[in-house]
Structure 1
Amino acid sequence: MAATATATTTAMEGIEATAAATTTEAAAGQSAAIPEKYMHKNRLQEFAVRTQKKLPIYNVEREGEYHHPKFRCTVEVGGQKFSSTGSFSRKKEAEQDAARVAYEILAPIEEGDVNKEVFGLIDQDVVFCKSILYEFAVKTKTARPSYSEDCLKEPFTMFVGSVVFDGNTYTGESASNKKDAQQNAARAVIKSILATGGPDHVAPASQDESSSLGVQEHSIVPAVGTSANPSAKAVSGSKKRKGRVGGADVNGTMVAKEH
């Protein structure tokens, strides 16, 4: 249990650091003062710091006539290179565009990695699942989960839990007691949300391992502690970042479509 709590603490610290870096009043004030097109380098640098990567390295190439130059930029982040979508009349504009391309490709990948970690946590121990789902319902203003259990007496007594959440019914794996059966049902809901998006996109699902991660509208994160009290847990709901999947050119450099 101590190992689970430690891992849970790590996951929460990562989410809290991400939220702090993007939602502080200072950052909001800066965003209002600086035009959006000049914010991409700042975002990419914050991303590099947050994910413990080397700071971005920009390489600007000049092309065109001497009296009418154009500039292209390539930025390297975490061993990957990303190119601007075209040529620009100013170096700074080329750098900003390359930073935008890099961030829009890398940010969704980071978010997916966080949810993979949460998958691992709830597989190790289901003790958090009911509390996580309860706090998620509070956070998203969804009706509280409603649980029920069926008793299976052959060949020996087992319980199968079901939960109604956001108008859908989910069934978990069987367990030797009602408490664990309810936790397994809650885990089925959490995995479905992580795999398919927020509660508006959740499909009823039994407890299985076949789901794959996508870009999430809500990130469900266990809080610190081992208490089953819902008030001692936390669930973080964050709007999904609109990322764009880029392709690779013949040199292995990532590119994205121009806005």
Structure 2
Amino acid sequence: MDQNQCSSSGSGVPDYKNHLNTYAQQSAIPSPVYEYTCTVYLDGEAYRSVNTFGNPEDAEQDASKLALESIAKKVKEECIIIGHAFYHSKSSCLFLIFDSMCCKSILNRYAAKMELPIPTYITTQIELHDFISSLAFDGKTYMGHRARSKQDAERLAAREVIMSILGTSGPGTYLSEIFRSESMLSNASHIVEVPQAVQYTYMATGASPGSNCGGSIRRRKQILNPSPRRPPVSKTYLAPANSKSILHQYAVRMNLPIPTYTTTQLEPTTQVERLRVFISSLVFDGKTYTGSPARRKKLAEQLAAREAINSVG
């Protein structure tokens, strides 16, 4: 047997597989059996197939499936973190309204992408100022939470569908693409600016002498101006996905040292909790800020940066 025989592909690498098959035939023993596992790398993360397979294509499919399921879970967790939050920058009076603002349009885009019928909503007024909405989508019925307006009730129903879809692997990944294209996680396109902070105070006034009227309540409108101590961080800088970059730019603008991050992986507290959880802190302008826990190191640092931004604001 010629050990220097090269592969038929002309790559110059010895065809060891062919040599092994030839040896098995000459030795009258069963042909070799190959088992494959696969590791796929995506965005700095490694996903390894759990099972072994008789051909590499099946191993690649299994690793890809694992990656998609993991990504869908991360997207759902991050959307819960961001979607249920309500951020307020004290000095510039900016509000991030991600909760339900674009859920209907996102769900419509998802339905079109998946070639599903556009969802239909049934909204009922349950009290004087409360509405509740349900919708049928892909053969299932979803019920939203109570809201003060019909539009908000429909958005909340759409959000229930979205949160349900995010828990699945394939559809959840498609939906995450729509989220990213809507810039919900990467910019603050849904920030509404309130020009001035308004505080209302109520004062009781007595009746005028000789009047048939009783006392009344007068409402006084007071404008609360933002603090002039430091320029607020720009409103486009509130989303977690680019908070580090924004804080860096703000430090340069204010001639402050660039913030340094310390990120640690938390130990699981239970036998069930096996996913990695990170928490990050940073030192900025002489103060230490700690962000919320996150499933990824990068996101943990972004959340720490956001804490600093909210404080500066």
Q: Do the structures match in fold with TM over 0.5? A: no
* Normalised TM-score (structure 2): 0.34
Higher RCO (CA-CA < 8 Å; seq separation 6+):
1
Higher share in helix:
1
* Normalised TM-score (structure 1): 0.41
Larger Rg: 2
